[in-house]
């Protein structure tokens, strides 16, 4: 061997060792711990260079790898035998993309294109009917939900136009009765795709009568066009959804944002957006304040503690909190220690979780032919059924729990009632201020004769005056839990557009227990009395339901007997 | 004299070899319900009876999670016992209770894993899952081991030998002869209590008719 050849071999060996050394030292991050075994390697690139923090995975896999500063990633393992041989990558602000791994184990490059900001206000939203062609089950759950019918909800229309269930005009309260020339901002949340379409009506009835199905409710294409949620003082919630509406040209795909970074199917140009897994997404509508006219504000002291008022995030006391579901959740989460099991729980966990009637679990979000062509097998853990359950019997029965304790001391019966917000991540009841929860006690001796209450509260007049069988509980021993708005004249249960203050807010805070004490006089100390406690959810307070002739049935959350 | 000792010894051997349960009785019966589809999962328990004298920590109580359901729906356990909560579902669960008998929160945990909780105080524990609103079950923490849970036909037997063996309560004998008060509990049925005379041997047979209503507390 010549001297030159010998040196060449030495140099080649040094170069090879250096490459191997640095390759092994590449700080490519991996998703879950314990999956750092060598597998598929590659790089996520763009026209602007390597992309850091892109999520790379075998489609449908629960585990993913994050790219490092050089765009490098290492997946612990590739597709299993029999699976489609694909690796996907996604990053917020970029279109997801796919690449086939090298059969020889060579590193692969996955190229991502940016989502250019080119929102088209004249865009026409896609009808849910179109989405149902591939996403049949998801659309079916959504269609059964309240979310799909926000613009055709008869109670919303009655409150807007000042009508009743028989469509009689001039039945107050009604937004239009007080503001004949205004549309309000109802469509911003009740028909957002209409509100976001240039030239579309701002009047709820016009939206409802329109043949454009995509305007009814909060439709698929509207939500999946949301790029971001930003503060906006002009909006009723103080937040605005930033849309990215891009018309699909002939032959090209439709821009869709979503929580998956591995959707790369041709009809959709999917872009991973973590916002879809955050509570902030829901804040666009599940928050509502009113700015009071004039300089005079209202006094939150006596209604809220300093911490609660701060947590409601009103700018000052000239802002009146009307619906604050998001803020209630936010302040609950904020006060939890980092190791609390509830830390990190968000709206989607409870309102988009699996329900028993949906079982057996589905492993796809697409159906029919689309499943065969583009379906990705997923763990049910990664699928969010779009039922948006809330205010239903199922939810309420597990949102609140009640316990009843009794003790006879001398001639008296002492009752302790404990009501706990077990499952609500917000105050209960939340949202609309016409909602209430009532505790109704019925205490009697062994012959069924009611016992006289010595200590404890009673239900107010607005719990209903009249026959008990019709759900009238005024004067009964018990308590109510509600946020009660008042107007300038001191009238309680004022509609939000007339409200100038909050009279009281006794709703039950997340995971907190309200303890109530009652005492009853026994007619015979040797008698064995019975105490019955009913916890009832009332979707509309009695006086309003009667006035509007609405059928709004109570839901019995819990009944306990001592 | 030798004959006397022989007789005494024989008598002692006879007494010691007779199974303890042969001197004890039990309660068996059937529960009929109105207003409920099935008479299953009704707890029948004796309110005052001899306590369990074995090691409670060695008992084996399990509340499983499958297909968004707690299994069983009603699990009677002895005060001081540990209950395992394995997750055999396809999704994560978060078991918790805010009942005054026992408050705990196991946090969200994945399929294939399990967690334990000790129940030290008698009473009713309502179990929930923080992310699946429909999931609900009850752990009934009892003072003594004389209980049974009705089958699909509403039948029960105290002591329930198969159940006892499953839970590791093998040392539990029947009830000594005497008068006992037993009660029922189901979340949708009005509780009833009844007094029975348990014989020295064999079972006393009862029939219970329960109506839809609200159950009472376990122990007043």
Determine whether the interchain pair A395/B133 forms a contact, defined as Cβ–Cβ distance below 8 Å.
yes
Whole-number average pLDDT of chain B: 87
pLDDT exceeds cutoff 80 at A314: yes
- Chain A interface, best mutation among B108, B214, B218, by max A CB count within 10 A: B214
Determine whether the interchain pair B131/A389 forms a contact, defined as Cβ–Cβ distance below 8 Å.
no
What ranges make up the beta strands (E) of A273-424?
288-291, 319-323, 400-409, 412-421
CA distance A404 to chain B (A): 9
- Summarize pLDDT for B69-101 with one digit per residue, the tens: 999 999 999 999 999 999 999 999 999 998 989
Say which CATH class A393-561 falls into. Answer: mainly beta
Cβ-based contacts of B213 with chain A (< 8 Å): 561
B59 shares a domain with B109: yes
> Which residue has tokens 């009913």?
A534
Distance CA B18, CA A28 (A): 72
pLDDT exceeds cutoff 70 at A251: no
Determine whether the interchain pair B214/A532 forms a contact, defined as Cβ–Cβ distance below 8 Å.
yes
Distance CA A162, CA A148 (A): 23
- What 3-state class would DSSP assign to A136? helix
Determine whether the interchain pair A513/B108 forms a contact, defined as Cβ–Cβ distance below 8 Å.
no
Q: Would you list the domain boundaries of chain A?
A: 3-111, 393-561
Determine whether the interchain pair B216/A562 forms a contact, defined as Cβ–Cβ distance below 8 Å.
yes
In a domain, B1, yes or no: no
Q: What distance separates the 2 farthest-apart alpha carbons in chain A? A: 118
**Residue A143 phi/psi, 5° resolution?**
-65, -30
Confidence of residue B54 (pLDDT cuts 50, 70, 90): confident
Whole-number average pLDDT of chain A: 90
**Residue B6 phi/psi, 5° resolution?**
-60, -45
B151 shares a domain with B127: no
Determine whether the interchain pair B68/A559 forms a contact, defined as Cβ–Cβ distance below 8 Å.
no
Q: List the single range of A279-288, A382-391, B53-62, B114-123 with lowest mean pLDDT.
A: B53-62
As a dihedral over the C-alpha atoms of residue A373, residue A374, residue A375, residue A381, rounded to 10 degrees, the angle is 180
Predicted local distance difference test score (pLDDT) of residue A11: 67
In a domain, B13, yes or no: no
B121 shares a domain with B62: yes
Distance CA A194, CA B115 (A): 49
Option in A341, A354, A398 nearest B91 (CB): A354
In a domain, B209, yes or no: yes
Is the complex ipTM higher than 0.85?
no
Cβ-based contacts of A353 with chain B (< 8 Å): 91, 131-133
B134 shares a domain with B72: yes
Predicted local distance difference test score (pLDDT) of residue B174: 83
Question: What residue in A sits closest to B91 (Cα-Cα)?
Answer: A381
Cβ-based contacts of B94 with chain A (< 8 Å): 341
pLDDT exceeds cutoff 70 at B8: no
B151 shares a domain with B42: yes
Residue in A300, A287, A123, A310 with CA at minimum distance from that of residue A219: A123
In a domain, B65, yes or no: yes
Pick B170 or A160 by higher pLDDT.
A160
Those residues of chain B whose CB sits closer than 8 Å to some CB in chain A are 67-69, 90-92, 94, 96, 98-100, 105-108, 111, 126, 128, 130-136, 190-191, 213-217, 220
Question: What residue in A sits closest to B93 (Cα-Cα)?
Answer: A381
B103 shares a domain with B86: yes
Give the CA distances from residue A4 to residues A11, A12, A14, in Å, rounded to whole numbers and listed in that order.
11, 12, 15
- What 3-state class would DSSP assign to A413? strand
Determine whether the interchain pair B91/A355 forms a contact, defined as Cβ–Cβ distance below 8 Å.
no
- Summarize pLDDT for A80-98 with one digit per residue, the tens: 666 668 899 999 999 999 9
Those residues of chain A whose CB sits closer than 8 Å to some CB in chain B are 341-342, 345, 349-350, 353-356, 359-361, 379-381, 389, 394-395, 397-399, 401, 403-406, 418, 420, 422-423, 511, 513, 532, 559-562
Contacts of A429 (CB under 8 A, 6+ apart): A391, A435, A436, A437, A481, A482, A507, A537
Predicted local distance difference test score (pLDDT) of residue A31: 44
Predicted local distance difference test score (pLDDT) of residue A19: 47
Confidence of residue B67 (pLDDT cuts 50, 70, 90): very high
- Chain B interface, best mutation among A32, A63, A342, by max B CB count within 10 A: A342
Distance CA A368, CA A550 (A): 41
pLDDT exceeds cutoff 70 at B156: yes
Predicted local distance difference test score (pLDDT) of residue A249: 62
Kindly report the pTM of this predicted structure. 0.85
In a domain, B8, yes or no: no
Pick B153 or A27 by higher pLDDT.
B153
Domain with B129, as residue range(s), is 53-143
Determine whether the interchain pair A361/B91 forms a contact, defined as Cβ–Cβ distance below 8 Å.
yes
B197 shares a domain with B139: no
Say which CATH class A3-111 falls into. Answer: mainly beta
In a domain, B61, yes or no: yes
- Summarize pLDDT for A21-70 with one digit per residue, the tens: 444 434 444 444 443 344 789 999 999 999 999 999 999 998 999 999 99
Predicted local distance difference test score (pLDDT) of residue A55: 98
Cβ-based contacts of A404 with chain B (< 8 Å): 217
Predicted local distance difference test score (pLDDT) of residue A1: 54
Question: What residue in A sits closest to B135 (Cα-Cα)?
Answer: A398
Determine whether the interchain pair A398/B213 forms a contact, defined as Cβ–Cβ distance below 8 Å.
no
Option in A350, A406, A561 nearest B133 (CB): A350
Confidence of residue B22 (pLDDT cuts 50, 70, 90): very low
Predicted local distance difference test score (pLDDT) of residue A289: 94
Confidence of residue A253 (pLDDT cuts 50, 70, 90): confident
Cβ-based contacts of B66 with chain A (< 8 Å): none
- Chain B interface, best mutation among A337, A348, A380, A398, by max B CB count within 10 A: A398
Option in A381, A422, A423 nearest B92 (CB): A381
Contacts of B79 (CB under 8 A, 6+ apart): B56, B119, B120, B121, B122, B141, B142, B143
Determine whether the interchain pair A423/B68 forms a contact, defined as Cβ–Cβ distance below 8 Å.
no
Q: Average pLDDT, stretch A284-296?
A: 89
Residue in A561, A528, A560, A517 with CA at minimum distance from that of residue A449: A528
Q: Average pLDDT, stretch A292-298?
A: 83
Pick A268 or A33 by higher pLDDT.
A268
pLDDT exceeds cutoff 50 at B15: no
In a domain, B168, yes or no: no
Tell me if A479 sits within 8 A of A457, measured CB to CB.
yes
Q: What distance separates the 2 farthest-apart alpha carbons in chain B? A: 77
The CATH number linked to B182 is 2.60.40.4130
- What 3-state class would DSSP assign to A523? coil
Determine whether the interchain pair A418/B100 forms a contact, defined as Cβ–Cβ distance below 8 Å.
yes
B206 shares a domain with B183: yes
Predicted local distance difference test score (pLDDT) of residue B13: 42
Predicted local distance difference test score (pLDDT) of residue A235: 87
* R_g of chain B, CA atoms, integer Å: 20
CA distance A286 to chain B (A): 20
Tokens for A453, please give them. Answer: 């209450």
Exposure b/e, B128-138, CB count within 10 A at least 16 = b: bbbbbbbbbbb
Determine whether the interchain pair A403/B100 forms a contact, defined as Cβ–Cβ distance below 8 Å.
yes
- Summarize pLDDT for A320-357 with one digit per residue, the tens: 999 999 999 999 999 999 999 899 999 999 999 999 99
Q: Rounded to a whole number, what is the distance in angstroms from the first to the last CA of chain A?
A: 101
Tell me if A57 sits within 8 A of A86, measured CB to CB.
no
- Chain B interface, best mutation among A381, A384, A417, by max B CB count within 10 A: A381
B64 shares a domain with B48: no
Give the count of domains, chain B. Answer: 2
Determine whether the interchain pair B91/A380 forms a contact, defined as Cβ–Cβ distance below 8 Å.
yes
Predicted local distance difference test score (pLDDT) of residue A27: 41
CA distance B204 to chain A (A): 28
Predicted local distance difference test score (pLDDT) of residue A23: 44
Distance CA A380, CA A376 (A): 12
B127 shares a domain with B206: no
- Chain A interface, best mutation among B108, B134, B220, by max A CB count within 10 A: B134
pLDDT exceeds cutoff 60 at A184: yes
B134 shares a domain with B110: yes
The DSSP bridge partners found for residue B125 are B139
The CATH number linked to B105 is 2.60.40.420
- Summarize pLDDT for B161-214 with one digit per residue, the tens: 878 788 877 777 788 999 999 999 999 999 999 999 999 888 899 999 999 888
Question: What residue in A sits closest to B98 (Cα-Cα)?
Answer: A422
């Amino acid at each position: 061997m010549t001297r030159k050849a010998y040196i060449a071999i030495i140099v080649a060996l040094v170069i090879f060792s250096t490459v191997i050394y640095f390759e092994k030292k590449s700080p490519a991050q991996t998703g879950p711990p314990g999956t750092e075994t060598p597998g598929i390697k590659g790089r996520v690139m763009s026209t602007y260079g390597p992309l850091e923090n892109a999520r790379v995975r075998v489609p449908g896999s629960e585990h993913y790898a994050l790219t490092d500063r050089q765009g490098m990633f290492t997946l612990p393992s590739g597709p299993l035998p029999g699976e489609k041989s694909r690796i996907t990558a996604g990053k917020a602000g970029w279109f997801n993309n796919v690449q086939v791994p090298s059969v020889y184990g060579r590193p692969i490059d996955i190229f991502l294109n940016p989502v250019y900001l080119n929102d088209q206000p004249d865009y026409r939203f896609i009808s849910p009917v179109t989405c149902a062609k591939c996403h049949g089950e998801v659309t079916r759950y959504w269609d059964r939900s309240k979310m799909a019918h926000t613009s055709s909800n008869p109670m919303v229309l009655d409150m807007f136009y000042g009508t009743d269930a028989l469509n009689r005009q001039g039945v107050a309260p009604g937004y239009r009765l007080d503001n004949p020339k205004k549309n309000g901002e109802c469509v911003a949340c009740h028909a957002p795709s209409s509100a976001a379409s240039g030239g579309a009506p701002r009047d709820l009835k016009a939206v409802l009568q329109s043949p454009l199905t995509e305007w009814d409710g909060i439709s698929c294409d509207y939500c999946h066009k949301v790029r971001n949620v930003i503060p906006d003082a002009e909006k009723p919630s103080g937040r605005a959804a930033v849309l990215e509406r891009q018309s699909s040209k002939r032959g090209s795909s439709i821009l869709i944002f979503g929580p998956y970074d591995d959707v790369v199917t041709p009809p959709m140009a999917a872009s991973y957006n973590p916002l879809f897994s955050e509570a902030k997404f829901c804040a666009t509508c599940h928050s509502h304040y009113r700015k009071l006219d004039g300089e005079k504000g209202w006094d939150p002291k006596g209604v809220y503690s300093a911490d609660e008022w701060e947590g409601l995030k009103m700018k000052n006391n000239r802002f009146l909190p009307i619906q604050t579901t998001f803020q209630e959740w936010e302040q609950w989460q904020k006060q939890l220690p980092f190791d609390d099991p509830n830390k990190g729980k968000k709206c989607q966990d409870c309102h988009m979780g699996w329900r028993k009637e949906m079982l057996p679990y589905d492993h796809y979000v697409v159906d029919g032919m689309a499943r065969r062509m583009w379906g990705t097998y997923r763990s049910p853990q990664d699928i969010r059924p779009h039922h948006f359950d809330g205010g239903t019997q199922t939810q309420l029965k597990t949102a609140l729990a009640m316990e009843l304790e009794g003790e006879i001391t001398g001639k008296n019966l002492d009752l302790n009632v404990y009501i706990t917000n077990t499952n609500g991540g917000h105050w209960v009841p939340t949202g609309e201020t016409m909602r209430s929860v009532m505790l109704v006690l019925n205490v009697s001796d062994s012959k069924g004769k009611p016992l006289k209450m010595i200590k404890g509260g009673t239900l107010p007049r607005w719990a209903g005056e009249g026959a008990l069988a019709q759900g009238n509980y005024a004067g009964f021993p018990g308590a109510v839990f509600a946020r009660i708005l008042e107007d300038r004249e001191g009238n309680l249960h004022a509609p939000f557009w007339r409200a100038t203050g909050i009279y009281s807010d006794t709703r039950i805070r997340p995971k907190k227990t309200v303890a109530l004490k009652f005492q009853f006089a026994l007619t015979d100390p040797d008698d064995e009395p019975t105490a019955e406690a009913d916890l009832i959810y009332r979707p509309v307070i009695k006086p309003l339901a009667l006035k509007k002739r609405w059928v709004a049935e109570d839901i019995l959350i819990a009944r306990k007997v001592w | 004299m030798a004959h006397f000792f022989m007789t005494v010894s024989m008598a002692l051997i006879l007494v010691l070899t007779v199974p303890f349960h042969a001197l004890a009785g039990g309660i068996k019966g059937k529960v009929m319900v109105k207003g409920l589809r099935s008479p299953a999962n009704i707890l029948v328990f004796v309110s005052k009876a001899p306590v369990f004298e074995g090691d409670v920590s060695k008992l084996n109580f399990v509340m499983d999670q499958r297909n968004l359901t707690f299994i069983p729906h009603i699990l009677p356990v002895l005060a001081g016992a540990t209950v395992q909560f394995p997750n055999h579902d396809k999704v994560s669960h978060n078991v918790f209770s805010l009942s005054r008998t026992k408050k705990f929160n196991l946090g969200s945990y994945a399929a294939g894993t399990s967690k334990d909780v000790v129940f030290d105080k008698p009473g009713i524990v309502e179990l929930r899952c923080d992310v699946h609103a429909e999931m609900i079950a009850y752990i009934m923490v009892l003072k003594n081991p004389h209980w049974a849970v009705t089958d699909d036909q509403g039948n029960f037997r105290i002591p329930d030998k198969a159940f006892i063996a499953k839970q590791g309560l093998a040392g539990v004998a029947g009830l000594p002869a005497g008068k006992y008060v037993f009660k029922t509990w189901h979340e949708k049925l009005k509780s009833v209590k009844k007094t029975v005379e348990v014989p020295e041997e064999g079972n006393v047979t009862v029939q219970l008719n329960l109506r839809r209503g609200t159950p009472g507390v376990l122990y007043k």
